[in-house]
Amino acid sequence: MGEETAAPARTEAGGKVGSEAVALLQELIRIDTVNPPGNEEHAQLLLAETLTEAGFESELLAAEPGRPNLVARLRGDIAGPTLCLLGHADTVPADTSEWSFDPWAGDVVDGEVRGRGAQDMKDQVAAEVAAAAALGRDGWRPRKGELLVVTTADEEMGAAAGAQWLCREHPEKVRSDYVLNEGGGISFELDGRRFYTLCVGEKGPCRFVMRARGVAGHASLPGVGDNALLKLAPALERLREQPPLEPTPEGVAFVAALTGREIDVQEPDALEAAVERLREAAPEVTAYLVEPMLRVTLVPTVASASVKENVIPSRAEVLVDCRVPPGMGRTEALEHAQAVLGEAAEGLELEFTDTVVGNRSSADSPLATAIEEWLGEADPPATLLPIVMAGFSDSHWFREAFDSAVVYGFCPQREMALPEAAPLIHGADERAAVADIDLAARFYLDIVRDVLG
């Protein structure tokens, strides 16, 4: 990969793709695709029109009315790999009372595009589509294989009408050898060195309900009933603590690269000591990247008890959002939960509501090499580091459906680095740097030609 693409061609084709990506992002932000309910259709029609006019074969496939998934294809002359640029059109809600500007403004202020989806992930969708459309309009076609642009619905609510449905019901439409999605590419600095993340895997959500039972009674007579809600209190207090570190391969390699020391995982305290050293030097990196990679996490999120203010609850429950490293599932989640809860779990019921085994792609692939080579040209001497994402995205469904597919998250982001950008994802005042959108669009322009010739 890369030997057919000359540097001058990169410069010519990349001339205005960044500004086109910014303009497209502004339009996308102004289309409210908050999920639920989603209403992704208008955004998908805009993207489909952009790609169709550039020579792509575009189709909209919907599991639900008004919520289509876009699949756009640019075919090569001979057989070869399929490279998929993947993204999703929906966003999480935005509470306008918490924002200092309109979440659907889509304006550019101080070099930043502002609005819901600017970081997750209409920025990447705009960069992918703008780059693909620029290539198509310029008459470029894959020398071998196909370029696929897939923008899904419903990612933020589990993908039942999006990637999960597409990969199950229309695998022939989205089958890919290489996939680039969200989850990686954000940069951070440590000791004067800059690093970019390459997301090679994702943890699996293994959520469970923790339930207590008691006896109902009138709330004015606390000595009469048996308050189920109070029985949850000791368990909730225990969940302030997280399970011990797990020496996952990506996590150990990540910490070793940042600390410059090999970690002997057979030494009981070696990993813990290395993480503590890193926490002192880079607290944000440790909180956002290192800790989630190296732990099964247990976080209580939703509680419910009495249905009436004057009734002692006979049943109380709390939903625990548990995330496990790739390859682990319900068994490991239950073991870690029981270990953390200890005696506080006695008398409680634990019922799993979601059990997804996380998955990963190998960090050693031609696509990873191509990304590393591109980074060496775009931002030397930055280092590319594989990570496992704490969250969950459509990458999971593509890895699960297509065993041989290499699926990464990578959208390069340098201007707005990890400490500033991470809190904006799903947060208030979401925005993205114009310079980063330009960098991302140029990356997709280059990587497509490197992979497909």
If asked whether residues 226 and 348 sit together in one domain, one would say: yes
Confidence at residue 268, expressed as pLDDT on a 0 to 100 scale: 81
If asked whether residues 79 and 15 sit together in one domain, one would say: yes
- Could you confirm whether 90 is annotated as catalytic? yes
pTM to 2 decimal places: 0.93
Tell me the CATH number at 39.
Answer: 3.40.630.10
Give yes or no for a contact between 296 and 251, defined as CB atoms under 8 angstroms apart. Answer: no
Task: Give which of 382, 367, 334, 446 is closest to 176, Cα–Cα.
Answer: 367
Please report, as a single letter, which amino acid is at residue 22: V
Give pLDDT tens digits for 143-190: 999 999 999 999 999 999 999 999 999 999 999 999 999 999 999 999
Distance of CA 173 to the CA centre of its chain: 23
User: Do the bridges between strand 208-213 and strand 57-62 make them parallel or antiparallel, or are there none, so unpaired?
Assistant: unpaired
Question: In the numeric block, which tokens belong to residue 18?
Answer: 């960044």
Give pLDDT tens digits for 26-39: 999 999 999 999 99
Confidence at residue 114, expressed as pLDDT on a 0 to 100 scale: 98
| Residue 183, domain member (yes or no) | yes
Confidence at residue 14, expressed as pLDDT on a 0 to 100 scale: 57
If asked whether residues 117 and 239 sit together in one domain, one would say: no
Question: Which residues are within 8 A (CB) of 304 and not within 5 positions of it... i.e. 6 or more apart?
Answer: 316, 317, 318
**Which entry of 128, 155, 317, 394 is annotated as an active-site residue?**
155
The whole-angstrom separation of Cα 86 and Cα 133 is 14
If asked whether residues 121 and 256 sit together in one domain, one would say: no
If asked whether residues 146 and 215 sit together in one domain, one would say: no
Instruction: Report the domain count for the chain.
Output: 2
Print the domain residue range for 420.
7-187+385-452
| Residue 45, domain member (yes or no) | yes
Neighbouring C-alpha atoms within 13 Å toward the C-beta of 432: 33
Confidence at residue 245, expressed as pLDDT on a 0 to 100 scale: 95
Tell me the CATH number at 332.
Answer: 3.30.70.360
**Low-confidence stretches of the chain (pLDDT beneath 50):** 2-9, 11-13
| Residue 393, domain member (yes or no) | yes
Q: Which one-letter DSSP state was computed for residue 78?
A: S
**Which entry of 20, 90, 246, 446 is annotated as an active-site residue?**
90
Please say which residue of 335, 352, 369 terminates a domain: 352
If asked whether residues 123 and 36 sit together in one domain, one would say: yes
Please say which residue of 352, 377, 395 terminates a domain: 352
Kindly write down the DSSP assignment for every residue of 399-447, as one continuous string: HHH-TT-EEEE---B-SS-HHHHGGGTTSTT-EEEHHHHHHHHHHHHHH
If asked whether residues 208 and 122 sit together in one domain, one would say: no
Please say which residue of 331, 352, 373 terminates a domain: 352
If asked whether residues 320 and 252 sit together in one domain, one would say: yes
If asked whether residues 45 and 175 sit together in one domain, one would say: yes
At residue 410, φ and ψ (nearest 5 deg) are -160, 120
If asked whether residues 44 and 167 sit together in one domain, one would say: yes
